[in-house]
Amino acid sequence: MRLLIIGALLFSSFTVLAEEKRQDPEMKFMNDLIVNAKLAGVCGAYKQMADFQAATQMPGGDEFIERFAATEMARLGMSIPEFTALCEQAINNYNNLNRMSQ
């Protein structure tokens, strides 16, 4: 049952991100887990940058984070709201998978 729930969560989340390849189902499942973990990590790194800047108020830090995020979003072909929504979904998936694995 857990595998069905995990599979449904991941399938709905990563059909857009996954490169079209022929994979056996077990390898696709593992790839989806890796993609979700990596995306959740990237989102966490952005959060840490924002938290650090909020705490330290480093001169030029806000501008750096804004430029960095804009450049990365352009590279990914996404808007910041699209990326934020994807992050929320990836983090929710990660938290659900973590809870299920315990």
Q: What is the pTM of this model?
A: 0.68
**In angstroms, rounded to a whole number, what is the distance separating the alpha carbons of residues 51 and 48?**
5
List pLDDT tens digits, range 39-52. Answer: 999 999 999 999 99
Looking at the domain assignment, is residue 17 inside a domain? no
Looking at the domain assignment, is residue 18 inside a domain? no
**In angstroms, rounded to a whole number, what is the distance separating the alpha carbons of residues 93 and 43?**
13
Backbone dihedral angles phi then psi of residue 55, each to the nearest 5 degrees: -80, -35
Looking at the domain assignment, is residue 19 inside a domain? no
Mean pLDDT of the chain: 83
The residue range of the domain holding 40 is: 2-11+24-100
Residue 18 has pLDDT above 80, yes or no: no
Residue with tokens 């929320």: 88
Give the whole-number percent of the chain exceeding pLDDT 90: 62
- Most distant pair of Cα atoms in the chain: their distance: 51
Query: Quick check: 83 and 73 in contact, CB under 8 A?
Result: yes
List pLDDT tens digits, range 67-97. Answer: 999 999 999 999 989 999 999 999 999 999 8
Number of domains comprising the chain: 1
